[in-house]
Structure 1
Amino acid sequence: MEPMDIVGKSKEDASLPKATMTKIIKEMLPPDVRVARDAQDLLIECCVEFINLVSSESNEVCNKEDKRTIAPEHVLKALQVLGFGEYIEEVYAAYEQHKLETMQDSLRGGGGG
């Protein structure tokens, strides 16, 4: 991925693919709504910060259980601890759907990526 493909100040900054994030943002809004580039960049940075927050808390939950690998249950617990408990059911459903699709892809011999 080229540095211009991500939002961030340098190559070393953690970020997300700008084109993918822009597509997601547009899919979530009515077709007649436009989003300024600065607003898109801000939304993407908020997503990065959220991922950092959940990852950090997931790591703490994992460490408290003396585990070395963050598992889905650690992420769900982190969401609860951070006050996002109302999203756990939807997140878990998305995770289960992802597992199902991944399994179906592997059964078809697809690479999945």
Structure 2
Amino acid sequence: MEANTGEDVSLPKATVQKIISEVLANTDITVSKEARDLIIDGGIEFIMILASMASDMADTENKKTITQEHVIKALEELEFQDFIPQLNDVINDHQKLLKQKQIRDSKLKKSGLSEEELIRQQEELFKKSRSRLNSQHQTPEELKKEQEQEQ
């Protein structure tokens, strides 16, 4: 079932190799380039089938967006129920990260400072930190002279 859309579709070889290496970390097994390429092709095919089924489910519900529920239903229909608990864990982790990002972004907005002012403050903190680091390598006379110059 090769879908030819006129675009080359692939997965990053380095990423796939890293995943394979992690899975096989405690074994003496190595994977040939050809086997890795076959795993990539199988992964692409699986993603295409899963996306197509999820899209069909969204269409059936007159939705224009595929949701995680559509993907989970497609996995169930493809009889990949064993993936669902791990997928739910990933979804929960992702939602926690999004919430943390929203809190952080909210704090920045509430600060009332422009991005330029925040960058200026950050640079000032870097300058002070470098100064402290350098002062550890300075004589007391050099440190006193530097402090007088800052004032």
TM > 0.5 fold call: yes
Q: Over the residues paired in the alignment, what is the CA RMSD in angstroms?
A: 1.8
- Counting aligned pairs with the same residue, the percent is 39
- Structure with the larger helix share: 2
1:25 to partner: Cα distance: 1.1
Q: Which residue of 1 aligns with 2:35?
A: 39
- Aligned match for 1:89, one of 67, 71, 85: 85
Structure 2 residue 41 is the aligned partner of structure 1 residue 74:
no
CA distance in structure 1 between the aligned counterparts of 2:8 and 2:20, rounded to whole angstroms: 21
Number of positions where the alignment pairs a residue of Structure 1 with one of Structure 2: 99
CA distance in structure 2 between the aligned counterparts of 1:15 and 1:105, rounded to whole angstroms: 30
Q: Which residue of 1 aligns with 2:9?
A: 14
CA distance in structure 1 between the aligned counterparts of 2:85 and 2:52, rounded to whole angstroms: 21
Question: 1:31-63 deviations in whole A, cap 9, x for unaligned?
Answer: 532111101111111111110010000001101
Provide structure 1 residue ranges, at least 5 long, that are not aligned to the other structure: 1-10
Q: Which residue of 2 aligns with 1:53?
A: 49
Structure 1 runs (4+) deviating above 2 angstroms are 30-33, 101-109
Provide structure 2 residue ranges, at least 5 long, that are not aligned to the other structure: 1-5, 106-151
Q: Which residue of 1 aligns with 2:58?
A: 62
CA distance in structure 2 between the aligned counterparts of 1:18 and 1:106, rounded to whole angstroms: 33
CA distance in structure 1 between the aligned counterparts of 2:104 and 2:24, rounded to whole angstroms: 34
SS state at 2:10 partner: coil
Give the structure with higher Rg (CA). 2
CA distance in structure 2 between the aligned counterparts of 1:49 and 1:92, rounded to whole angstroms: 22
